[in-house]
Amino acid sequence: MNVAVIGAGAWGTAFALQLAANGHKVILWVYEPELVRSLRDTRENTYYLPGFRLPEGIEFTDDLRAAVESSYDIVIATPSFALRPTLRKVPLSFTGRRMLVLTKGLERKTLLRMTQVIEDVTGTSISCAVLSGPSFATEVAGRHFTSVVIAASVKELAQYFQKISHSDRFRVYTSQDVVGVELGGSLKNVMAIGAGIIQGLGLGYNALAAYITRALAEIKRLGKKLGAHETTFMGLSGMGDLILTCTGPLSRNRMFGVELAGGRAPREVIASQKSVVEGFYTIEAAYRFSKSLRVDMPVTEELYRIVYGGKDVRTSFDDIIRRDTKEEDA
Active site amino acids: 188
Instruction: Tell me the angle at which helices 278-293 and 205-225 cross, rounded to the nearest 10 degrees.
Output: 50
127-132 and 58-61: which strand pairing?
unpaired
Q: Partners of 4 in the beta sheet? A: 27, 74
DSSP output for 196-208 = HHHHHTT--HHHH
Q: Which residues contact 327 (CB under 8 A, 6 or more apart)?
A: none
DSSP letter at 329 equals P
Q: Dihedral (C-alpha) 145, 151, 154, 156: value to the nearest 10 degrees?
A: 0
Three-state DSSP at 117 gives: helix
Q: Which residues are registered as beta bridge partners of 131?
A: 150
DSSP class of residue 79 equals: -
Number of residues assigned to the chain: 330
Torsion of CA 175, 177, 181, 183, to 10 degrees: 180
